[in-house]
A = this chain, B = another copy of it.
């Protein structure tokens, strides 16, 4: 290797790629919205409900790794689009059973893979060893990020 790329530049590039990844995800979401009138999270919620069957709002929030109060809004909008219903739970007055309507099921059937579907597709298009490699390096990265507290980061406050 005659001229190794400096690590700094590699880091810059990785950052740039992550940004591009997020951007590609958003672009995908916009396309879905234009075509089906559903935002990414909405389609994602619909899809999750279909996968898991009728469930409470909290279950849905947990499955989507979102805060319940966030999901309330998403479910509201889906309900006003007549794609799902809130039914009272007969056995527990606090709970709500969220069920798809026929239109909701139809939508899930014809819409593309939800949310990170594009990302999954991208991963599927890669060779197995590439995915394994990504898995390994990401594990390391996440481990480091989760490990250290804020204190450790005060020593590199400038570029």
Contact = CB atoms under 8 A, between A and B. Distances in A.
B128 A21 contact: no
B157 A24 contact: no
A101 interface: no
A131 interface: yes
B138 A18 contact: yes
Interface in A109-139: 109-113, 116-126, 128, 130-139
Interface of A: 5, 7, 10-11, 13-15, 17-21, 23-25, 28, 31-32, 35, 51, 65, 109-113, 116-126, 128, 130-142, 144-146, 148-150, 152-154, 156-159
B144 A122 contact: yes
A58 B130 CA distance: 39
B123 A11 contact: yes
Contacts of A137: 126, 130-131, 133-134, 137
B150 A32 contact: yes
Contact of A125 (B117, B125, B144): B144
Given A14-B131, A15-B116, A131-B10, A126 B109 contact: no
A33 to B, nearest CB: 11
A135 B14 contact: yes
Nearest to A11: B123
Given A28-B150, A145-B119, A138 B15 contact: no
